[in-house]
Amino acid sequence: MIKINSLINKLKIELLIVILYSSLLFSFYLGENSTGGAILDYQNQSKVINQFLTNFTNALINYDNLEFTTRHSPVLIIILSFLVKINLSDDFIRLIYLHVNLILPIFFYKCLTLKFKSVDKTFLILLSGLIILSPSFRSLSIWPDSRILGLTIFSISIYYFLLFFENKKYKYAIFNIIYYAIASYISPNFLVFSLFFFYFYLKQFNLFSKKLILIILINIFLSIPAFFYVFYMEVQFIFAKATVQLAGEDKLFLNFFNQILIIPTIIFFYLFPFIYKKIFIFNKKDINLFYVILGTLVFCISLYFFNYNLEYTGGGLFLHLSQFLFKNNILFFFISFFSIILIFVIHENKIENLILIILIFLNNPQTTIYHKYFDPLLLILFFTLFNYKIFNIDKVKSYYFIYLYFIIFLLVNNFKYLIS
C-alpha cells in the first residue's frame, strides 16, 4: 500500500512538472507579458543590440550615451548580439534563453535538498515549482532580460555557498565567489549579496589567514573589469533612468524613505502564505514593545518624507491596490506599518538575517521600485539563506493554498496588462 501511494505521489509530481513546463511553452507562444514592461524592455534592448551589431567597439565604449540607452549591464546585450550575428532567429534565441533560465528552479530545488535533508523531496519539488508561477520569471525568460539570468546564476552561487556551509570545503567558497561575480556582471544588483557571503567567510577563517586573503584577492581580481569600465572609462550605465517620466538620471537612493515603506510590503506579500499556513513560525517573544516603538518611529519618519510618484510606475502591489480600491494610500500605509514591524520580527536577533534584510533594501537603490525586482528573489532567499526554523514544510494541504495564492497573483498580473 505504501509503495502504491508513493507511486501515485510520484506520478502527481511528474504531472505537475509537465503542466508547469507546458504552461511556459504556451505562454511563450502567446508572448506573456505579466510584468507589464517585459515586451517594451526587450524591444528597446533589441535597438541597443542593433547598435552593437553596427559598431561593437563604439557601442561598448559609449554604452551610456547611445541613441537607445539602458541601465542593464551590457553583458547580456553582447551575448544576444552574438546570437543575432550568427543568424539565429529572434524566436529561437528567446526559446534558448527560456530554457537556460530553467536552471533557476532546478538549482533552487538543489539548494532546498541541502537545506532540508530530512524533508521528502516531493515537497521540495513543490516549493521549487513556485518559481515557474513567478510573473517575473515567466515574462523575463520569454522576453530576455538580464535580471532573471543574473538570478539564475546567483542561485548557483547560493548552492555552492550551502555546500561550503555544510562541509567547509574551500573549493565551494571559490565556486560561490565566481558564480556571484558572474551574476553581478549580468545584473549588478546581485553584487550587494557578496557582503553576506563575506561575513560568513570572515567568521569561518581568521582575519589574516591565507584562505581569507585569497578570497579577498579573488573578489578584487574579478571586480577589476567592472571598476575599469564604470569608473575609469566612466561608462556609468547604472545611472540611466528606468522610466521616461524621470527627468535626467535616475539618482540612487533619491528618497530612501520610499524604499522603507514600499519594500516591506513586498516582503510581506511573499511571506504571507507561508506564515498563514504556519510554514514560517516566528517567536512571539520577538514581538516586543521595543520593536513596536522602533517600528512605529521608522514608519512615522518615512511617512513624513514619502513621495513616491506612481507616474514613475512601480510601487508594489499594495500601493496600487490601495489606489485602485480607495483612490488614496491609506490601505498601503496600514499594511506598510505592520510590514515594518514584521521586518523587525523576522530577523530573530540573528546578525545574518539582519544583513540579508539590509541587502534586500540595498538591492534596489534606484528611484523606481518594481515588484518584479523582488520576484522570485525573495522566495529563494527565504528558503535558502535566511536562518530560522521552518515548520510544516511537508503538509500537502498547505501547498493547495500556496499554489492558489501565487496562481491568482499570476492571473491578476496577466489580466491587468491584457485589459490595459
Query: SS3 for 308?
Result: coil
Domain that holds residue 284: 256-384
Name residue, grid cell 523587525: 344
Q: Are residues 197 and 344 in the same domain?
A: no
Q: Are residues 212 and 270 in the same domain?
A: no
Q: Which amino acid is at 298?
A: V
Q: Are residues 195 and 78 in the same domain?
A: yes
Q: Is residue 155 part of a domain?
A: yes
Out of 240, 274, 295, a domain closes at 240
Are residues 334 and 98 in contact, defined by beta-carbon separation less than 8 angstroms? Answer: no
Question: CA-to-CA distance for 1 and 344, rounded, in angstroms?
Answer: 47
- What pLDDT is stored for residue 244 in this prediction? 47
Residues 6+ apart with CB under 8 A from 66: 48, 51, 59
C-alpha of 358 from chain center: 14
Residues 6+ apart with CB under 8 A from 268: 318, 335, 338, 339, 342
Question: CA-to-CA distance for 46 and 68, rounded, in angstroms?
Answer: 9
Give the chain's domain count: 2
- What pLDDT is stored for residue 241 in this prediction? 56
Q: Is residue 403 part of a domain?
A: no
- What pLDDT is stored for residue 389 in this prediction? 77
- What pLDDT is stored for residue 67 in this prediction? 66
Q: Is residue 409 part of a domain?
A: no
Q: Are residues 195 and 64 in the same domain?
A: yes
- What pLDDT is stored for residue 200 in this prediction? 93
Q: Are residues 56 and 102 in the same domain?
A: yes
Q: What are phi and psi of 73, to 5 degrees?
A: -60, 145
- H helix intervals, 130-255: 135-142, 146-167, 170-186, 194-204, 210-227
Q: Are residues 10 and 41 in the same domain?
A: yes
Q: Is residue 251 part of a domain?
A: no
Q: Is residue 392 part of a domain?
A: no
Q: Is residue 407 part of a domain?
A: no
Q: Are residues 162 and 228 in the same domain?
A: yes
Name residue, grid cell 542561485: 155
Q: Are residues 193 and 53 in the same domain?
A: yes
- What pLDDT is stored for residue 226 in this prediction? 87
Q: Are residues 271 and 167 in the same domain?
A: no
Q: Give the Cβ contact number of residue 338 at 10 Å.
A: 14
Q: Are residues 147 and 193 in the same domain?
A: yes
Q: Is residue 110 part of a domain?
A: yes
Low-confidence ranges of the chain (pLDDT < 70): 1-9, 66-69, 234, 236-254, 283-286, 416-420
Q: Are residues 148 and 36 in the same domain?
A: yes
Length of the chain: 420
Q: Is residue 230 part of a domain?
A: yes
119-142, pLDDT tens digit by residue? Answer: 888 899 999 999 999 999 999 999
- What pLDDT is stored for residue 29 in this prediction? 93
Q: Are residues 235 and 260 in the same domain?
A: no
